[in-house]
Amino acid sequence: MNKTYVMEKSHAFITFPAISCYLLYTNPLLDIVFLLYGLIICIFILYQGQYYFKLKIQSIKGQVFNQKSNLHFFRKSKNANLILIGLMPLIFIVQIFLNNWTIKTENLICWGFAANIFGILEHINYYNRQLMIDSTADLNYVISNRKLKIASLAKDLSENKI
């Protein structure tokens, strides 16, 4: 779990922000609005993931934290994610509008779709079903049950405890 926390934290605070800065430095803003929107959603959801894993590690170590406020944070974040995901088509339309109603491949539109889809998958991975199969136990579960596990955060929210 500690490895997952470190990876999620590095992606939320280093990898995706660095990619965003690079894109802003090398491309006109009007050409990458949809891509940046997807990256911002990824950063926002990865932040939630790393924060969740931080709390789980604290819980395993027996460290005390405020369950109520943290559960509230994740419930609010889940709702915010859904709103941001729902706005994706509008941001895509804005991107097309900014480019005179044309879809240009040079404005990284395919990467924009990839980033936005990745954000959706990250939300599903944390709040619905565990899409990441990163251990033999996960693989065995999928093989024996023929379905994906319920995400740990989803389970914790339904049980009202982290």
- For the chain, give every domain's residue range: 2-159
123 CB-near residues (< 8 Å, 6+ apart): 45, 78, 81, 82, 85
Q: How high is the pLDDT of residue 115?
A: 98
Q: How far apart are the first and last CA of the chain?
A: 14
Radius of gyration of the CA atoms of the chain, in A: 18
What pLDDT does residue 134 have?
77
Helices (H), the chain: 2-10, 16-26, 33-60, 67-86, 88-98, 109-127, 136-145, 152-159
Please tell me the predicted confidence (pLDDT) of residue 21.
97
CA–CA gap between residue 46 and residue 110 (Å, rounded): 21
| Rounded average pLDDT per 10-residue block, the chain, 162 residues | 86 96 94 96 97 94 94 98 98 94 82 97 96 83 90 96 92
Q: What is the dihedral of CA 60, 13, 89, 76, to 10 degrees?
A: 40
Q: Burial, 67: exposed, middle or buried (Cβ in 10 Å; 0-12, 13-18, 19+)?
A: middle
The pTM of the full predicted model, rounded to 2 decimals, is 0.91
Q: Which two tokens stand for residue 72?
A: 């509230």
